[in-house]
Chain A
């Protein structure tokens, strides 16, 4: 069974640009969550999608958005990039959703903002 796949793995952007990250969950998993990982703040929850609906959202500005498609694949978008958005963005999938069970993480997309 294939794991969680995130693309791209690495990318470099400049301030003010926008970026879209993609996540393909494990087959059969309906929940996709996104986390931001930085050395200073650690792992912080961005949002969770379940059956194409955003079910929970963390404390991030509106520049961070996401969506989920009917095949459970998910994308997250960050607009008007700031230097502080440089981070590892991790996607995780689960059959039911966060909080109640195991999350299966991808290897992440490492974003550098110059």
Chain B
């Protein structure tokens, strides 16, 4: 069965420091992978997605993620965190077929300290 694991429930990073949020997935074939962000009281916004090709993908707000098939991972990174990045981050996997649901991880809450 498909699953997504985000090992870190809560992470605190100093403003200006680098960030890496971990995501591991379980899926039989090459999955479609997504990172979404949710600010308090808001819906989810797509940061980036991986379908195929270059394993390093760039997203909005300066985020990037790297797909590593051998590790079944799709970690999210940002070189320098801003206070406005404080939010909850969700990794998700899809089968790549229309009509199939996204499977989300439980999320990682990011706090940014000054």
Contact = CB atoms under 8 A, between A and B. Distances in A.
B41 interface: yes
A102 B43 contact: no
Nearest to B90: A43
Interface in A61-114: 90, 92, 96-108
A102 B48 CA distance: 9
Interface in A1-59: 4, 31, 33, 35, 42-45, 48, 50, 55-56, 58
Interface of B: 32, 34, 36, 41-46, 49, 90, 94-107
8 contacts: A48-B101, A56-B101, A98-B101, A99-B94, A99-B97, A100-B32, A100-B100, A106-B43
Contacts of B43: 4, 90, 92, 105-108
Nearest to A4: B43
A100 B96 contact: yes
Nearest to B106: A42
B99 A103 contact: no
Nearest to A6: B43
B106 A100 contact: no
Contact of A50 (B94, B99, B107): B99
Contacts of B90: 43
Interface of A: 4, 31, 33, 35, 42-45, 48, 50, 55-56, 58, 90, 92, 96-108
A50 B98 CA distance: 10
B21 to A, nearest CB: 15
Contacts of B99: 48, 50, 55-56, 97-99
A106 B45 CA distance: 9
A44 B104 CA distance: 7
A101 B105 CA distance: 17
Contacts of A4: 43
B46 A99 contact: no
Contact of A98 (B46, B49, B102): B102
Contacts of A103: 44, 46, 102
